[in-house]
Amino acid sequence: MEVTKKDVEKLIELRKENTFLNHLWNIFSRNMTAKGEVSRNEIKVWRQNMWNLTFYPIFTFEFNANNHLINISTKLNPVGKMIIGFIIIGLIWLIFPKNLSDFDIFEKWQMATFLLVFSFLVVWVARKVYRFEKQNQLEQIFEILDIEVEEKEPEREWSLKNVLIRLFTYPFSLFIVFISVWLLFENGIRNILQSVIGIGVCGMYLYADIKMIMRAKKTTGNTV
């Protein structure tokens, strides 16, 4: 069955332009309704939820001259991209002194390595949350639009690759949370930004990863 433009328009509960300011307000207002922008040959739809307010996907539905759906693509919303950029820039800024001539990478190699690994974790968390949310919403869209797709074998959450990644990221994340809490109590408001970033990023990663494991376990259980 052909999916038409009118079918996709039914996914939208509130029409909004796909602009940075609208996505920024979307995060602060916590309005969970499905929003979208309709143009001549494409429709953009996005929706957030309580557990993922920032790294939600934007779905782009493309149509041919007969207004029949020909492609669906996704990308991270602009505010999510900005947050990743700000965090990474902030972490890099912590490495460099006010006077760049005093900077010595060999003296600060431990801090540089730590921040490099933490920056990797930030990107990893954002990517993991985004991919999980994209797949979850895409399945709902396929069901609503009655689109049949070939079922792909889900990625094994306990594959050797994922186990090795978790053996590194779980202890590292718990270490960051511990250090962030310690800094908060030790130095108070002076380290509140670092503490909030550390606890927020690592907590989000652990929550998202455990939720993906539980979701995969539930899916496996339903197919048995």
For residue 42, what pLDDT is reported?
95
Task: Enter the tokens of residue 107.
Answer: 């003296």
Among 76, 73, 60, 77, which residue's Cα sits nearest to residue 5? 60
Q: How is 132-171 classified by DSSP, letter by letter?
A: HHHHHHHHHHHHHHT---PPPPPPPTTSHHHHHHHHHHHH
∠ CA 188-192-198, nearest 5°, is 125
Enumerate residues 6+ apart whose C-beta is below 8 A from 43: 5, 8, 9, 12, 36, 37, 60, 61, 63
Q: Are strands 69-76 and 57-63 parallel, antiparallel or unpaired?
A: antiparallel
For residue 5, what pLDDT is reported?
94
pLDDT tens digit at each of 224 positions of the chain? 689 999 999 999 999 999 999 999 988 888 889 999 999 999 999 998 877 788 899 999 999 999 999 999 999 999 989 988 887 777 677 666 566 566 565 665 666 666 777 777 778 778 878 888 898 899 899 999 988 776 666 566 677 877 888 888 888 888 878 877 877 777 666 567 667 777 777 777 787 778 777 766 665 554 43
Task: Enter the tokens of residue 97.
Answer: 């002194």
For residue 223, what pLDDT is reported?
44
For residue 219, what pLDDT is reported?
55
Q: Please say whether the dihedral angle defined by the alpha carbons of residues 15, 17, 20 and 25, taken in this order, is positive or negative.
A: negative
For residue 77, what pLDDT is reported?
93
